[in-house]
Amino acid sequence: MNMPALAFDAHTHIFPDAIGPRVVAQLAATLPLPTSYNGTRDGLLRKLAEAGIAGSLNAPVATRADQVDAINIWAAEQNRWPILSLGAMHPDYPDIPTELRRVKDRGLPGIKLHPEYQGFAPDEPRLDIIWRTCRELGLIILLHAGNDWQFPPPCRANPAAIARVVRAWPGLTLIAAHFGGFEQWEAVAHELVGLPLYLDTSFAVGFLPDDQFVRLVRQHSSARVLFGSDAPWQDPPATLAAFRRLPFTPPEQHAILWANAARLFHLEEHACPATSAARKEPSCM
């Protein structure tokens, strides 16, 4: 049986057109790798089309609490297929439960948090209000994990701290970006693999040995791994090609590239609302 070649990129970034090119150029100047596009929605759409990726998830980071309101209004406008969007939150935001309820009411599937840009450790008690409210509301959290080249080590979002959150908040839907801890692959293997959280593949494929990556995915379960590129910091077409070269079985590939994200983000409803009730896989793209 031929598996459908559907793919969804569960970790991408777009910015408002007025600031995207400047933000991306500034960050790009500090990075050792070329960027994929200029940070705009149109730029990402062209890259998704080039890669044959059906859709993606935008992950906005509020670097200050006073940015949260405006980002979430903008994110709700951007949350339309083929680009879905998370909302933003910041631990210093004055009324976290009320804003998370607005995130939910606006139809956003969850929020992005970044411990380095936002200055917190995942297992700090002041984060409890975010974990508790997201769990209550069924909001998904995409959490930056591991090192970030913009910040000197040690990183706040280390695998042991993330494991403490997972154990303290059963039922929380947490996605740890960068396969649970960029450049902390040994700690990921010891602390996170096998726990009930999702790991995305961004800045992992090609950053640890392929055989180690494949082994860890299988130990963790391909049912809890999501393909992500972290575009524009990586190139979706190149990242997808690198992932497809790995020796995963077709069912494993399908789970990581599409099915897990489809389950979490209700992709069939977004991609082809008219046929999703009648079909298991969308055929309208």
Nearer to Zn ion, 59 or 259 (CB): 59
CA distance 279 to 269: 11
- In eight-state DSSP terms, residue 201 is -
Strand 140-143 and strand 8-12: the pairing is: unpaired
Cα dihedral: 14, 20, 22, 27 (round 10): -10
Q: How far is the CB of 269 from Zn ion (least distance, A)?
A: 25
In whole angstroms, how close is the CB of 231 to Zn ion at the nearest point?
9
Q: How far is the CB of 95 from Zn ion (least distance, A)?
A: 26
CA-to-CA distance for 141 and 134, rounded, in angstroms? 8
Say which residues have a Cβ less than 8 Å from residue 259's Cβ, sequence separation at least 6. Answer: none
Phi and psi at 67, nearest 5°, equal -90, -15
> Beta strand 83-85 with 87-88: parallel, antiparallel or unpaired?
unpaired
Nearest residue to Zn ion on Cβ basis: 230
Q: Are strands 174-176 and 140-143 parallel, antiparallel or unpaired?
A: parallel
Total of residues contacting Zn ion (CB under 5 A)? 1
Q: Does 281 bind Zn ion (CB under 5 A)?
A: no
Nearest to Zn ion of 123, 230 (CB atom): 230
Evaluate the omega torsion of the peptide bond into residue 122 and state whether it is cis, within 30 degrees of 0: no
Stretch 132-191 residues interacting with Zn ion (CB under 5 A):
none
One-letter amino acid of 152: P
Closer to Zn ion by CB, 177 or 195: give it. 177
Could you give the count of Cα atoms lying within 13 Å of 255 in the half-sphere of its Cβ? 14
Q: Could you give the CA distance from residue 280 to residue 285 in angstroms, rounded to a whole number?
A: 14
Per-position x/- string for 214-243, each x denoting binding to Zn ion as judged by CB under 5 A, each - no binding: ----------------x-------------
Nearer to Zn ion, 236 or 282 (CB): 236
Q: Which CB sits closer to Zn ion, 9 or 230?
A: 230
Residues 6+ apart with CB under 8 A from 206: 242
Residue 262 CB, shortest distance to Zn ion, in Å, is: 21
Residue 45 or 129 with smaller CB distance to Zn ion: 45
Find the shortest distance in angstroms from Cβ 13 to Zn ion: 6
CB of 2 to Zn ion, least distance (A): 32
d(CA 56, CA 84): 6
In the bound state with Zn ion, the residue whose beta carbon lies nearer, of 230 and 252, is 230
Closer to Zn ion by Cβ: residue 112 or 220: 112
Rounded least distance, CB 241 to Zn ion, Å:
20
Give min distance, CB of 230 to Zn ion, in A: 4
CA distance 183 to 155: 10
Residues near Zn ion (CB under 5 A) are 230
